[in-house]
Structure 1
Amino acid sequence: MGKTVTRINKKKKILIRIGSLRHGGAEKVLVTFLKNLPENKYEIDLLLNLKSGKYLKDVPSWVSVYHLHKGEMITTNKPWEIPVKAFRRSYEELLKLFPKALYKFILKKQHYDIELIANHRLLEEVLKSPIKTSKKVVWVHNDLFSISEYTTKKLSNFFKADKIWVISEKIKSGFEKLATTREDREKLIRIYNPIDSQEIIKKSEEDINFTFTKEKNEKIFVAVGTVFPQKGFDRLIKMHKRLLQEGYKHKIYIVGDGYDFKNIHALVKSLNLDDTVKMVGYQENPYPFFKNADYFILSSRYEGYPTVLFEALTLKKPIIATDVSGVSEILQEGKLGKIVENSKEGIYTGMKQFLTQPEITQKYIQEMNDKELPFTLENAVSRLTTILDNL
């Protein structure tokens, strides 16, 4: 008699690397995916450079979390912090030189099917992996073509990976222009960021201390994001001041934290805007600020694919957004929101139009009510699992 052979479908073993799980778009997208991936299909190890961040608690229990350092991110150069920063940097550089040590003593793994970096800055690390049989994937969340440090030569290095995941058509187009072979072009895959609309709506109902005293017919803008120069909060504040000087009353909430927080706060002070600009810092739940504002504004100098716009759309907030990567795609060429020139003048013009022509904002609200968000949580997760299964 012949032997009966029982086939066991093995789980795919995946290593995912990211700097930390602090507040940020890439971090949020990653954790949202992890929470919705089927446990029975994958065995996932998550390696953090720094074990910290608001999203750490949201990582599913079946995902194994490893780290290089513990503690909080250091964003200043206080004398007592410099040795810690230097040690962390030296340790990371040492592991880049001797990657086998990382896999032997920290991960304690000799095999992965897929090695994915969810932060493009870790490209060198994944390419130096001692596991030669794994598929190397780099996930690009920013429009690197708008960042001066990313030269053509540096961007071409991304094609050394097996796959390049990009989050917008604009970023994909940029890499396609750099591709020299059909094989390079086939490495590019468009990944859709997941949007959990029901969670956003539910969280927006929570009470907050919305501290502004709002005068009759006075409008409030809300801007949400990590406080980095990339987000352009400095030019938003300057255009806010200009509009106030011209007699257009309005107020602004800035929700978020980051290494540029003190500089932006100092700018608010220097322009005497304490009564009209509130910097509320990092918020575990930013959605009530969306809901209680009249308009959402994205003042970024560059982006990858600003998922925050989907959050504003979910809560039916008229949007002004600078013309950066992903905006035209998300706002359907301007049907769902106002796309302005990526400049101070563009921000000023968009805000002034919203303040003086309320019928325009009503038109956007009507469009939002008539449209269904294209990238649902279910669709995004389904596409990601298909991509992982085909690697």
Structure 2
Amino acid sequence: MKNILIASFDMEVGGVERSLISMLENFDYQKYAVDLMLYRHQGDFMNLVSDQVNLLDEIPKYTTFRKSISETLKDRQYGIGLSRILSKMNAHFVGKIKGVAEPGYYQMQLMWKYALPFLPKIDKEYDVAVSYLWPHYFVADKVRARKKIAWIHTDYSTIETDINTDLKMWNKFDHIVAVSEACKNSFLKKYSELEHKIIVIENITSPDFIRKMANEEVENPMVSDNRFKIVTVARLSHAKGIDNAVKALKRLKDKGYNDIAWYVVGYGGDEPMIKDLIKKFKLEDNLILLGKQTNPYPYMKEADLYVQPSRYEGKAVTVGEAQILSKPVMITNYITAASQVKDRVDGYITDLSVEGIADGIEKLYKTPTIREQLSNNCNSTDYSNSYELNKLYSVIND
């Protein structure tokens, strides 16, 4: 039996976390002993972690990556606290010079780089260590393993990172796993020299689980709402484009579409800005923020249309889940969009802009036959893919 370590940040509600839960649920525990390292034991998905996984104890220094700087200093983790302050100042300075819209990725790189000397190593040696969420410095520098694998979930061609710093980290891994072909291709635009390391393993989906959860009773205002209902499940962040969703809905309302209600399930740092936009455009009755929900599927089930207004994605877990529930899906034309849906077959791809989102919704609103066709095609498609894990087993055993 081979010893595997899988590392991630926590189990807060999110697409990456849901994909990890699904992978752990389908793992072959007859052949592999799996330790799970979560930097902090928090999040609404904690109780969904398979009981066949050995959850390692928290290590105080690593919990700081899910705490504020003030909490970190209060915990007397002064070295790490100073690292966080320096990384924030440096990233803000560089971001201003380069005009970077979202310097958070670069800040996270610096945070780990500066904090590494203060972080302890793991004593146990593993056959394989998997780092499931970037940045991958913990597994790269603090874990002993015969083989190391790093996962990528986003479109790296669209985010600002220090390439040379990243390459030093990537070169400590034997394999890099992308969640889609498009995600792989966008990664290689930035890191072409790593082509020999990269493979594709799609996010594991469990249709039976999703359909079962969709039938759970939750407090759901959508049930009694007779308007045309759109749902988006996403983190409230720049990448997910919820601000563009608000602006698109404003355009639709200005054109006279007053019976559209857009429900957003999720939370995140952009929430105050999005609330301000909703108030500015007087959309309080039309765009409803439902906040963090452990089970988003009953909300998806009630939707007339699922929309993903993202600026970039690796492969959006929620889009696949909406398809499993046979919902007509509309996504923006981010770089990896074509690997997410077959346009006009099991999804509708629209221009990545406020105008594109509004026009796409208007088209689908006015043409129920298209929505029905998309829904029927999803219903007749088998989205289960636990066989994808065989690719990981091949890499482990190679």
Q: TM-score range by the shorter chain?
A: 0.7 to 0.9
Runs of 4+ in structure 1 displaced over 6 angstroms? 91-95
- Match of residue 231, structure 1, among 240, 259, 275: 240
Counterpart of 1:7 in structure 2 is none
Comparing 345-354 and 269-278, the one that deviates more: 269-278
Does residue 114 of structure 1 match 2:128?
A: yes
Q: Write the distance in 2 (CA, Å) between the matches of 1:178 and 1:172.
A: 10
Deviation at 1:49, TM superposition (A): 2.0
Counterpart of 2:301 in structure 1 is 291
Does residue 102 of structure 1 match 2:121?
A: yes
* Distance verdict in 2 for CA 1:130–1:102, change over 3 Å: closer
Matches within 5 A, 1:214-225: 214-215=225-226, 218-225=227-234
Amino acid across the alignment from 1:97: P
Q: Write the distance in 2 (CA, Å) between the matches of 1:85 and 1:293.
A: 45
Deviation at 1:134, TM superposition (A): 2.1
Counterpart of 1:362 in structure 2 is 372
Amino acid across the alignment from 2:280: S
- 1:80-113 per-residue CA deviation (whole Å, 9 max, x = no partner) reads 65734983870777862166x332xxxx42x111
Matches within 5 A, 1:331-346: 331-346=341-356
- 1:127-154 per-residue CA deviation (whole Å, 9 max, x = no partner) reads 32363x521211111111111x125435
Counterpart of 1:59 in structure 2 is 49
Counterpart of 1:255 in structure 2 is 265
Counterpart of 2:393 in structure 1 is 385
How many residues were matched structurally? 362
Deviation at 1:230, TM superposition (A): 1.2
Amino acid across the alignment from 1:292: E
- 1:186-242 per-residue CA deviation (whole Å, 9 max, x = no partner) reads 311101111110111111112233325534xx3110000111121111110111011
Q: Write the distance in 1 (CA, Å) between the matches of 2:18 and 2:255.
A: 39
TM-score by length of 2: 0.82
* Distance verdict in 2 for CA 1:166–1:258, change over 3 Å: same
* Distance verdict in 2 for CA 1:73–1:97, change over 3 Å: closer
Counterpart of 1:37 in structure 2 is 27
Amino acid across the alignment from 1:196: S
Comparing 257-266 and 205-214, the one that deviates more: 205-214
Q: Write the distance in 2 (CA, Å) between the matches of 1:38 and 1:297.
A: 34
Matches within 5 A, 1:168-183: 168-177=180-189
Amino acid across the alignment from 1:364: L
CA contact (8 A) 2:131 2:150 kept: yes
Q: Write the distance in 1 (CA, Å) between the matches of 2:47 and 2:113.
A: 28
Root-mean-square deviation over aligned CA pairs: 2.7
Counterpart of 2:176 in structure 1 is 164
Q: Write the distance in 1 (CA, Å) between the matches of 2:16 and 2:367.
A: 35
* Distance verdict in 2 for CA 1:164–1:267, change over 3 Å: same
- 1:261-293 per-residue CA deviation (whole Å, 9 max, x = no partner) reads 232223222222121111111112111101111
CA contact (8 A) 1:306 1:327 kept: no
Comparing 252-261 and 90-99, the one that deviates more: 90-99
Counterpart of 2:139 in structure 1 is 126
Q: Write the distance in 2 (CA, Å) between the matches of 1:95 and 1:156.
A: 18
Counterpart of 2:200 in structure 1 is 190
CA contact (8 A) 1:248 1:355 kept: no
* Distance verdict in 2 for CA 1:210–1:64, change over 3 Å: closer
Q: Write the distance in 1 (CA, Å) between the matches of 2:206 and 2:300.
A: 16
CA contact (8 A) 2:121 2:142 kept: no
Amino acid across the alignment from 2:121: L
Q: Write the distance in 2 (CA, Å) between the matches of 1:284 and 1:152.
A: 35
Counterpart of 1:309 in structure 2 is 319
Question: Could you say what secondary structure the match of 2:142 adopts?
Answer: coil
TM-score by length of 1: 0.84
Amino acid across the alignment from 2:142: S
Deviation at 1:35, TM superposition (A): 2.0
- 1:360-379 per-residue CA deviation (whole Å, 9 max, x = no partner) reads 21221232233332xx2432
- Identical-residue share of aligned pairs (%): 27
Greater Cα radius of gyration, structure 1 or 2: 1
Question: Could you say what secondary structure the match of 1:50 adopts?
Answer: coil
Amino acid across the alignment from 2:55: S
Matches within 5 A, 1:263-278: 263-278=273-288
